[in-house]
Amino acid sequence: MEFPFPYLTSGFDGDYRVKKDLMDILACPICKGDLVLNVVEENEEEVISGTLYCPVCKEHYPIDEGIPNLLPPDMRN
């Protein structure tokens, strides 16, 4: 089975994390516009915590423990 999200990496334990070098292909799930990365914590290759911000929708998408939550706001939590 091919992994459907090329901007994430998959570890052997099912760990999906944001890779910094592929951030330019991410798009807002609502308007498909560009996202702005705000890094709070990172390592050499991955963003550990922060947000992805859509300036068109004015929506923030959290990155927690390296995992981005790109669900639309009404579908989170």
Cα-Cα-Cα-Cα torsion 4, 2, 15, 55, nearest 10 degrees, comes to: -20
Residue 76 has pLDDT above 90, yes or no: no
pLDDT score of 3 more than 60: no
Collapsing DSSP to helix, strand or coil, 21 comes out as helix
Q: Tell me if the pTM is above 0.85.
A: no
Burial class (CB in 10 A: 0-12, 13-18, 19+), 71: exposed
Q: Where are the domains of the chain?
A: 26-69
Q: Which of 55, 11, 60, 25 is nearest to 40 (CA)?
A: 60
